[in-house]
Structure 1
Amino acid sequence: MTAPQVVGADAVIHSNLSRVLGMLHRDGPLSRAQLTRQSGLNRSTVGALVSELSGLGLAYETEPPAVGRAGRPSPLVHVNEKVAALTINPDVDAVTVGLVGLGGRVHRRIRYEAATRPSVKETVNISRAIIDGMQGELDGMDRIVGIGAAVPGLVRSSDGSVLLAPHLEWSDEPFALVLEDALGLPARAGNDATLGCLAESIYGAAVGVSDALYLNGSASGIGGGVISGGRPLRGAAGFAGELGHTLVKSDGGTCHCGRSGCLDAEVRLERLLEPLGLKSADQEELEQAMAERPTPELLREIQRQIDLLAVALTNLVNIFNPDMIVLGGFLGALYSQDPDRLASAVAAGTIGGLGAGVRIRRAVLGSELLLVGAAELAFAALLANPAGT
């Protein structure tokens, strides 16, 4: 049944509630005076909206810190971090479950290492077991709004179905619907790298950047996302951003997509793990091992991968003309080993000197990146209509 359309004055109130809650969610605690300036609304309207959000359990106020100014300072308005979402990120070597509050606050992150790549059923079972073990944290929340899932593959944005996740060996799986049925909460799913891009643009390295590229490297491979003109580039069916399939080596290895020499086939996490004697590692474990055991074999592999990554980034800069490139997952760890080598190659290789002005940054959200991005899916309906969700 379709919800009744909100019209007239009620529509304005709903829109303003959404605007103020979105500002608190993205920007952190703001005073009523700051909300008034940034929203363009008058002071009494902001006061009424803050009161309504507080009544809905979505915001609260605290006294501001003393600043030595005359007059009564404006209270600080906070988004309620105890309004939270569950997040799920399946990968070939692990399933990670998170509990994320409004404002991007990660309350808990649990990574379960899987012996084999998890099927949809196994992902759901692992997630259910982890969530059952998180009951104490869940009881401490005011509300769980739903589930957001970040999947390394082609995910249809309209219904959260996974059309193809080749490294997981998933095909035509109604993943969001399966999660809803199994866990009893509304669920949405999206591509992991696209969600990582979204998270970094809201809370991370690309805050305030209107044109940015994001590439994430995980055990499943390399994915990407594009922010163009301040908006995520989604494509006709939501599949835009498969940046891992940029050609970097014409005589390279065969990619799972059927072509040869893709970035996803040549720049691989397992090729960094092999000289370290590791079978799997998250980002923090990888960086620690690289720092402790910088063998000649590892250093050669690092240089090889940086040079191939530079080829891909050069092509992408020529196509998208970004202001910033953000590297997440193991790509961020790779970049940190020799940032000048990568930046110099991109600057020298692009047409018309386009690469010289591009800023290359590591993703700052680290291992929490995909959890925060996936939570945005679950929060979307609440942020759009705070009073009606």
Structure 2
Amino acid sequence: MSDAPTVDLPQLRERNEQMVLNLIRDEGPISRAELARRSRLSRSTISTIIAALLSSHDVYEIGIGESQGGRRPIMLDFNYQSSYVVGIDVATSSLTLLLTDLQAQVIQRASAPFLLSSGPDTCIPQIAEQFRALVQAAQIDPARIGGVGIGIPGPIHTETGSTIAPPVMPGWGGVPLLRRLEQALGRRVLLENDANLGALAEQTWGAARGLADVAYIYFGSEGIGGGIILGGALYRGHIGSAGEIGHLTIDEDGPPCRCGSRGCLEAAVGTPALLARAQAQGIAVGSIGQLVSLAQAGSPQAQALLAQAGEQLGVAIASLLNLLNPSGVVLGGQLAQAGELVLGPLRATLARRGLAVASQQVELKPAALGPDVIAIGAAALAIRHLFRTPNAAGGPRHAPDGERVGQPASA
């Protein structure tokens, strides 16, 4: 009996087709001859693959190229409108949905009020309803939706797709969320923590573009999350709970946190904590945006409150810098709108508390992609998954990080 390994021909064909498609996407316009040279596949194999890709409208012929001797070649390019993806930001009090093409250009946007606290039995059907309404409004055939990325404000188990006891999602712990979302939407879903998606989006198109080691701090409407990129790849930890910077202790005698601990960063400078502190000082604001506007208008009280928040945030980030030594730190969410009112005191705290080798070299920036950053990251995650080589390494619902996916319209 032969010991030679068996070849799965359908899988091999799929891998070759995906490799050629990725080459056209990344290098197009490109000729068939150049594809054969770059892929090391035979010209007959390339011809078969291209015929299939032309038939499915994934690629198209765009004209005649320059001759290198002999007949001038017909050039091929990628069709970014061959299918579409949807990115969904599931926040504590709202849904944001983006339908984009495969270059992350936004075709349709929608938002809706939403209460995460109403629990999965209520929320999951609402997400599915808004998804279907978005696709219908865009007048896109649902069969052309190639993927859906969804971000939630809590960690997700990388193997099971279940939520991991998220403090900002009471009643959601252990819910098989990935499976239930796929059942409700009737298609495959890529599920990810919201701050991780923000980190990917900012590294690909925003304030951290080109940086391989990045810490992204996201101030949501309720909690504080973090996304960590190391060596160009998202770091999720053992089961998916890495990056929970909101629950680093900055003061052991500080206020209690809803996670059960005391003195967490989130309990000190999370949105509810900051607004409560503002109201206690007689500052009449109902949102972080209003607090920032008041400070920018010259209110000494509002400025002092933001400066204190920057100092407390600096205590947590100093520990992060000492431990991970990232090249960049990006501050996202509403607090990022404060700019130097927060970043100035934050830098001063890093200079006092961080190791010089880490704190003096880091780039500290406000986020660049605006309020839709999580939905943009979710769409990008779905695009990356479509271009993944079959059987590539990685978790069952996490696409490879660091691939080129185009330029979003909002960037």
Distance 1:116 1:205 in 2: 29
Greater shift after overlay, 123-132 or 286-295? 286-295
Alignment of structure 1 residues 9-20 onto 2, 5 Å = 10=13, 13-14=16-17, 16-17=19-20, 19-20=22-23
1:379 shift after superposition = 3.3
Is 1:147 paired with 2:151?
no
Q: Which residue of 1 aligns with 2:374?
A: 370
Q: What does the per-residue CA deviation read over 1:143-170, in whole Å, with 9 as the maximum and x for residues that have no partner?
A: 1123221111121123422122221212
Distance 1:210 1:59 in 2: 31
Q: What does the per-residue CA deviation read over 1:221-264, in whole Å, with 9 as the maximum and x for residues that have no partner?
A: 11111111121112121222112222222321111222111111
Alignment of structure 1 residues 224-235 onto 2, 5 Å = 224-235=226-237
Distance 2:329 2:228 in 1: 9
Greater shift after overlay, 311-320 or 151-160? 151-160
Q: Which residue of 1 aligns with 2:109?
A: 109
Structure 2 counterpart SS, 1:166: coil
Is 1:85 paired with 2:85?
yes
> Whose radius of gyration is greater, 1 or 2?
2
Amino acid at match of 2:232: G
Q: What does the per-residue CA deviation read over 1:286-312, in whole Å, with 9 as the maximum and x for residues that have no partner?
A: 588447755333222111111111111
Amino acid at match of 1:165: P
Amino acid at match of 1:176: L
Alignment of structure 1 residues 202-241 onto 2, 5 Å = 202-241=204-243
Structure 2 counterpart SS, 1:219: coil
Change (3 A) 1:255 1:338: closer
Greater shift after overlay, 192-201 or 310-319? 192-201
Change (3 A) 1:176 1:8: closer
Greater shift after overlay, 169-178 or 300-309? 169-178
Greater shift after overlay, 180-189 or 5-14? 5-14
* 2:89–2:151 CA contact under 8 A, matched in 1: yes
Distance 1:376 1:307 in 2: 33
Structure 1 counterpart SS, 2:257: coil
Alignment of structure 1 residues 222-301 onto 2, 5 Å = 222-273=224-275, 275=278, 277-279=284-286, 289-290=293-294, 294-301=298-305
* 1:100–1:107 CA contact under 8 A, matched in 2: yes
Amino acid at match of 1:90: V
Distance 2:75 2:377 in 1: 29
1:185 shift after superposition = 2.0
Greater shift after overlay, 328-337 or 358-367? 328-337
Amino acid at match of 2:19: N
TM-score, normalised to structure 1, is: 0.79
TM-score, normalised to structure 2, is: 0.75
Alignment of structure 1 residues 130-169 onto 2, 5 Å = 130-134=130-134, 135-139=136-140, 143-169=144-170
Q: Which residue of 1 aligns with 2:126?
A: 126
Change (3 A) 1:44 1:359: farther
* 1:197–1:214 CA contact under 8 A, matched in 2: yes
* 1:218–1:269 CA contact under 8 A, matched in 2: yes
Greater shift after overlay, 188-197 or 327-336? 327-336
* 2:92–2:115 CA contact under 8 A, matched in 1: no
Structure 2 counterpart SS, 1:139: coil
Change (3 A) 1:329 1:40: farther
Amino acid at match of 1:355: S
Amino acid at match of 1:163: I
Structure 2, unaligned stretches of length 5 or more?
A: 1-6, 64-71, 391-411
1:218 shift after superposition = 0.2
Q: Which residue of 2 aligns with 1:68?
A: none
Change (3 A) 1:13 1:325: same
Greater shift after overlay, 340-349 or 285-294? 285-294
Structure 2 counterpart SS, 1:98: strand
Distance 1:21 1:254 in 2: 54
Is 1:356 paired with 2:357?
no
Q: What does the per-residue CA deviation read over 1:25-83, in whole Å, with 9 as the maximum and x for residues that have no partner?
A: xxxxx6549xx79x9668998x97787655433355768xxxxxxxx9x9794551462
* 2:20–2:39 CA contact under 8 A, matched in 1: no
Q: What does the per-residue CA deviation read over 1:360-380, in whole Å, with 9 as the maximum and x for residues that have no partner?
A: 122222122111222244334
Q: Say what the alpha-carbon RMSD is for the aligned residues.
A: 3.7
Structure 2 counterpart SS, 1:384: coil
Distance 1:166 1:22 in 2: 41
Q: Which residue of 2 aligns with 1:66?
A: none
Distance 1:337 1:42 in 2: 56
Distance 1:85 1:98 in 2: 8
Number of residue pairs aligned between Structure 1 and Structure 2: 365
* 2:24–2:30 CA contact under 8 A, matched in 1: no
Distance 1:59 1:232 in 2: 30
Amino acid at match of 1:220: E
Q: Which residue of 2 aligns with 1:171?
A: 173
Change (3 A) 1:146 1:340: same
1:345 shift after superposition = 2.8
* 1:32–1:75 CA contact under 8 A, matched in 2: yes
